[in-house]
Structure 1
């Protein structure tokens, strides 16, 4: 018995692509939105924005830019060009996504972040990642369960287990 593979018109539908000249190489398991569904796994669809930047759209309409894709380690590096990631993470739910946070450098850690609304920023707290907030009284603070929130602040949201460098850049 001899089996032959038939190569038809669709043979080149899943060629390696990229958005713009300097974007990351895109191939299986990722696919671009204009390619047939079989070119990538479900949830691994990437797009090109108006500036030819590679973007990943999450189910909750969060859109992040793709910095690089490491196919060997199976990691995708994402960033927010608007530098407003902390506020966008408030609505991120990775349970509906095939992705999860990881730390790719041994000296970095995962941590819980809390978002506080403060009437006055305590001296030992830092305002990080909220430059884009319309309400300048919102602060992101990394803290341990042993520390109490300041009395001038009200906790409005918790973001569990994200890489520390995600918030500080």
Structure 2
């Protein structure tokens, strides 16, 4: 199990001992997030569990899409920036499904994915791009940002899927899908968890007050 640096109790801010992880800005891992297998479930909200990896640093696992590297977490604005440890984010986007997670897209950019016959399919650079990490010896996978075209309108191509890329800000929308090496997710305020945490703190101070009063 990877070593962790921490201070105080188990529910206080923790971080992985990995200097290659850029989420170390100021905060580390704090509520509503927790580090699984190290901190108890009461230290965070459901769906906010993170992992420490000796080589990759801090990881977030999402259903169907697998592990993502956590670049950093902005607690005040409720944003988490994640990237693909295998450097093929379009592959992650094909299976990314946030419906069963506490995360959502604040804004998104739409792209159409096509599978085209042949490794030398002529790509129109004005609105198409070849996705190298998804293409093979006898087929070319391309993305198209034009919303005017629907599936099966390209010769020798099969429409695969329309993907929504989570982005942090509207003006960060990029013309090519492969330009995205990381994306932003956000989450709503964790009301239920917050009430539980608030009750725990209240109970602690009440117990402390009764203990001090009994000594008087």
Pairwise same-fold verdict (TM > 0.5): yes
* Aligned residue in 2 for 1:27: 30
TM-score (norm 1): 0.78
Contact 2:56 2:85 in 1 (8 A): no
* Aligned residue in 2 for 1:94: 98
Q: 1:84, 1:26 → 2: CA distance?
A: 26
Asked which structure has the greater CA Rg, the reply is 2
Q: Higher strand share goes to which structure?
A: 2
Which consecutive unaligned segments of at least 5 residues does structure 1 have?
1-10, 104-109
Q: 2:156, 2:65 → 1: CA distance?
A: 33
1:168 aligns with 2:179: yes
Q: 1:65 to 1:114 in 2, by over 3 A?
A: same
The equivalences for 1:69-84 within 5 A come to 69-84=73-88
State the shift of 1:133 in Å.
2.3
* Aligned residue in 2 for 1:117: 115
Aligned residues: 150
1:45 aligns with 2:49: yes
RMSD over aligned Cα, in angstroms?
2.2
Q: Higher helix share goes to which structure?
A: 2
Contact 2:56 2:69 in 1 (8 A): no
State the shift of 1:139 in Å.
1.6
TM-score (norm 2): 0.62
Which consecutive unaligned segments of at least 5 residues does structure 2 have?
1-7, 168-172, 181-216
